[in-house]
Amino acid sequence: MVLRAKRFASFYLTLRIPSSSLSSHRASIFSRRELFVQSVNHRCFGNMSQTTKIEYQKDGHFTRPASTFRNFVSADPNSQFPAEKGRYALYISPGCPWAHRTIIVRALKRLEDVIDLYILSSSMGDKGWVFDGTNGSLPKDPLYGFTYLRELYFKANPDFNGRFTVPVLWDKKTGTMVNNESSEIIRMLYSEFDAFIPEKYREVNKPGGGLYPEHLRKEIDELNEWVYDTVNNGVYKCGFAGKQESYDENVYPLFKSLDRLEGILAGHGKPFLFGDHLTEADVRLYTTIARFDVAYYTVFLCNLKSIRHDYPHLHLWFRRLYWDEGNETTGGAFHSTTAPWIGLYASGYSNAKVKVTKSQAAVIVPRGPAVLVEPLAESEKL
């Protein structure tokens, strides 16, 4: 408990709580493939509005509804949502892998003093994502005093008729929601706010061309597509399967893709998926692998193999990112956004599984593994 408290305290040094007062976009940044993949939605579950019933299962197969708010922040000062320091806030739950990727990028880009971060509870209550002051979350929404994320959705649109999900990028100036699709939020953070950070952290000055370099965009989009379908979302399709055949249809493609990722890293022998430099592909995969052995392996029955015992190159890749607390490459972004909450992942997914599958059984939280993240030898560090 003392260690977790220290981790929360360390993470809170990066938060910015606002004072009491306070679209156009360069479309080329999103490939057609990316927009198609994201149409199946990259967000965590949320309770539905009372007038809508959204089914997560169809004929025993898990389905993921689409995102709803899809505007963009732009560096163009004449855009609907121009980039400004202190204007926007990011609402997240640390248990959600889709929200997790946004706070990793916020930290990688050193945007802590540019975009506020408001943390909700790591697990949902009866009315969805909640501010309750537990496990590093805020006791209330700092802007409006709300208790539930759903209240923010209704402020943006009183007739909202969908799911109340994280992450949320909020415009404090106009009092509305900009975007709740993680894959689009992270791409906004890559470069649209670069005018407000030191020059060495701007994408144009990054080794290798930044997180989404133009010369690798086709390859990154292609990898993102199959990794999303079979790995990022594949674990959910296994864990929330309502029939044996649905589980079987998804568990083998999941591990085939993990084998493929292992082969990529083993093949070039370099620290990141696309070689010597960190890219978006690493960020998007990381949040799934961070939860794999500690939650998906047990709770979601993704147990043909484990990362730590069966995928040596993936395991090294993950540990290098997780344990890097000071290297200029990551600035500790992966560790600081994972370590305070990794011990809560199994509990969150155990509760979510009961809700989504409508199980009548009691919630049983697995207690393993004994070591959440294996250590990293000095010779293995980035």
Indicate which residue of 44, 96, 238, 302 is catalytic: 96
Instruction: Tell me the CA distances in angstroms from 211 to 130, 188, 202, 269, 322, one per residue in order.
Output: 32, 11, 10, 20, 18
CA-to-CA separations, 148 to 82, 153, 349, 358, in angstroms, rounded: 27, 9, 20, 23
Alpha carbon 152 to its chain centroid, in Å, reads 20
Whether 96 sits among the annotated catalytic residues: the reply is: yes
Query: CA geometry: angle at 221 spanning 54 and 74, to 5°?
Result: 80
Supply the Cα-derived Rg of the chain in whole angstroms: 20
Q: How many CA atoms lie within 13 A of 199 on its CB side?
A: 0
Active site residues: 96
